[in-house]
Amino acid sequence: MTALSLRDVRKNFGPTEIIRGVSLDIAPGERHCIIGPNGAGKTTCFNLISGRFPISSGEILLNDQRIDTLPPHKINRLGLSRSFQITSIFHRLSVFENLRCALLWSRGYRYSFWSPLWRQKALNEAAEHLLEELNLAARRDILAGLLSYAEQRALEIGMTIAGGASVILLDEPTAGMSNTETDYAMALIRRVTQGKTLLMVEHDMKVVFDLADTITVLVYGQVIASGPPEAVRANRAVQEAYLGALEE
Amino acid sequence: MKSRWLILVLIAAAIALPWGFYDWSHHRHDGFLISVLSQTGMMIVLALSYNMLLGQAGLFSLCHATFFGIGGYAMVHFLNAAGHDELPVPMEIMPLLAGLSGLGLAILFGAMATKQRATAFAMITLGIGELMATAALMFHHFFGGEGGVTTDRMIDNSVFGLTYASGIQVYYLIVAWTLIAVALMYFLTLTPLGRMANATRDNYERAQFIGYDPRMVRFIQFALSGFFAGIGGGLYAITYEIVTFDALAAPLSANALLMAYIGGTTVFGGPILGAILITLLQSGVSLLSNSWLVYVGVMFIGMVIFAPSGLAGIIQAHGPIQRAGRLGRLTVPYLRLVLPALALLLGFVGLVELMSFLTIGAAQGKKLILFGNPIDVHATVPWVVSSVSLVVGGTWLRFEAAVFHRVWERLSAEVSR
């Protein structure tokens, strides 16, 4: 069984093919990183998996179930959650409300307009607990839009895992962070994705080789290598296409 | 909580006000006051229900009067049926039926409109509004054409044995239903749906990726807002016993927008302030001046430019300074704004009124009277005085506003430290 698999997925915008036949199998509990030069189609890949854009051909399966025809919210309900490269939170709601919103669907509240939120004890405790876990308890009632950048990223990771999804997609979670912030964010990600399947796009090679069980290298919409970090590091084609260029 | 006191004061005022102007020698209520207060009640419901869309869900609807109007028309037919003993529903429950009519129509139109976002949504609602306004003139059987439909509210069926012959009885019915509607709408803001409406307003995409279908959130919110607008329309029909196409046409939709925006869309109670203010202007200033709409329009533009969070937003902005106990430091800067603002206002009002009396007023044979003195609109002096007052007041106000701004910034910085 695979947690997530892509089978010959293709995507074209107009006449240009951006994703040119990507196949991937990610085992449950695996920490999988996608790397590749700018414009390789990493984020597009995420957008296809999470249902943000429809695919042109191929198949995407989540826990052996086809998801490539579903809208994003249905994919999310099946247990796949994602974060965005550009922070995506509810900026005019408080930090606490952001987390509570992220918990609502998975706890079965649906579109309820009859259950007052203040009386949902378990829900509120879960949101408070998440606040603690993210180290944002002191910022509880501040509007999310007023948080610092690193705090917003932490909040988004919290919202991404809140619903208890089994497959987590993180799109460059440490982009634009200082070294200390990156270390902190990575520790947080390790902690909150314990036991979950993690698929991550990342540019920071130190982070990637530290974290990943498997690395996939994407160049011009095609997978040129995929395997354990050592194998990818030793791979000739990768060195030429990507890593070599970085070390120059 | 301060706001709790404010609510109690408002409710007490709503109940007590008619008695403050009671004519004890003739045992009569002040009819004008009662009618203004009744109007205020239904406008509060309209403005708040509109803000369920604009402020809370970020939906810019241009057809909100449609649901208010349909509530009104339906109410007329319900009352007529009740008058013929065909509908055994007491008067006190009737507004609920009007609300359900609004809900029904909002479900239909909401299903169409909420499939789209932003500009497309606004366009569709504009179309719906025009469609309904046209329908009101075409389908005489239900809408009564240009003359509208009339009814008699004395249906002789009341839980409390009231006849609703007098305005004061109707007024208290309106107060009760306004309170119910406001309380329910406030409750909604505290439920998962209400919170997700805020969430889809802030970030449509993020809402999808936490499992919600934002279109469904908006659809339900739209339908519920139609329910409350329908209640408002029902109260309208009971009060006036006639409903014409004014009750669902575009100007009323625009009015809902004005009230919500001027009052403040970011605070729940904002539209209440807006509804009170606009209704007072409408009934007060419209007696004094032909040009009252000009003033409302200019006020709206002023709010959009200088205070996009509305009156409630302005009040709220004082919160941190007040909590720090430094509100007193704003007294002098505020007082310094008064004179130039008055000069600007005088100049502007003067010019508008002079122009208005030169054209419309002359046609109506009216004379412009200021402070008891008739003014000759053809003389040069009043025009010069007004223009100078406008220019000097404006320039002076800009200067004082800059001073005020500096004090405000300094205080805010001190307080946030």
How high is the mean pLDDT in each 10-residue block of chain B (417 residues)? 80 91 83 93 98 97 97 97 94 97 98 94 97 93 93 92 92 97 97 98 96 97 98 97 94 96 95 94 83 88 92 91 88 92 92 84 70 76 92 94 93 85
d(CA A130, CA B219) in angstroms, rounded, equals 30
- pLDDT of res. A83: 96
The answer to whether residue A161 scores a pLDDT higher than 60 is yes
3-state secondary structure of A164: coil
Contact A101 B216 (CB under 8 A): no
Give mean pLDDT, residues A153-178.
95
B193/A88 CB distance under 8 A: no
DSSP per position, B346-409: HHHHHHHHHHHIIIIIHHHT---EETTEE--TTSHHHHHHHHHHHHHHHHHHHHHHHHHHHHHH
Task: Give B192 to chain A, closest Cα distance, Å.
Answer: 6
Cα of first residue to Cα of last residue in chain B, in angstroms, is 24
A113 and B217: CB-CB below 8 Å?
no
Q: Provide the residue range defining the domain that includes A148.
A: 4-247
Nearest CA in chain B to A105: B211
Q: Work out the angle at residue B252's Cα, subtended by the Cα atoms of residues B247 and B258, and round it to the nearest 5 degrees.
A: 155
Pairing of strands A80-82, A65-66: unpaired
Total domains present in chain A: 1
Q: Which residues does residue A81 pair with via DSSP β-bridges, in sequence order?
A: A168
Instruction: Tell me which residue in B198, B208, B210 faces A102 most closely, judged by beta carbons.
Output: B210
B-interface mutation test, from A49, A97, A111, most B Cβ less than 10 A away: A111
Query: What is the model's pLDDT at position B153?
Result: 93
* Interface check A88 vs B, CB under 8 A: yes
Identify the residue among B185, B203, B210 best suited for mutation to test binding to A, counting A beta carbons within 10 A and taking the highest. B210
What ipTM was reported for this prediction?
0.94
Nearest to A105 among B198, B211, B224 (CB): B211
- Give dist(CA B339, CA A241) in Å, integer: 72
Judge: B203–A117 Cβ closer than 8 Å, yes or no: no
Q: Would you state the pLDDT for residue A244?
A: 56
A54, A207, A222 from A46: Cα distances, Å: 11, 19, 14
Q: A245 pLDDT exceeds 80?
A: no
B79 vs A203, residue with greater confidence: B79
Residue A247 pLDDT greater than 80, yes or no: no
Pick the residue from chain A with its C-alpha nearest to B217. Answer: A111
Q: How many CB atoms lie within 10 A of CB B93?
A: 11
Chain B residues whose beta carbon lies within 8 Å of the beta carbon of residue A77: 211
In the predicted structure, residue A154 carries a pLDDT above the cut 50: yes
Dump pLDDT digits (tens) for A80-121.
999 999 999 999 999 999 999 999 999 999 999 999 999 999
What ranges make up the beta strands (E) of B127-218? 149-150
- Does the B13-290 domain belong in CATH 3.30.200? no
3-state DSSP assignment of residue B81: helix
Distances in Å between the Cα of B244 and the Cα atoms of A86, B68, B264 are 51, 12, 29
Q: Is the Cβ of B416 closer than 8 Å to some Cβ of chain A?
A: no
pLDDT class for A248, splitting at 50, 70, 90?
Answer: very low
The residue type at B292? W
Distance from CA of B216 to the nearest CA of A (A): 8
By CA distance, what is A145's nearest residue in B?
Answer: B202
Q: What is the mean pLDDT of chain A?
A: 93
- Residue B188 is nearest to which of A52, A113, A118, comparing CB atoms? A113
- CB-based contact B76:B237 (threshold 8 Å): yes
Burial class from Cβ neighbours inside 10 Å (0-12, 13-18, 19+) for residue B25 reads: exposed
A81 to B188: CB separation less than 8 angstroms, yes or no? no
Helices (H), B245-309: 250-263, 270-280, 286-288, 292-306
Residues of chain A positioned with their CB less than 8 A from the CB of B195:
93, 97, 100-101, 104, 117
Domain with CATH 1.10.3470 in chain B: 13-290
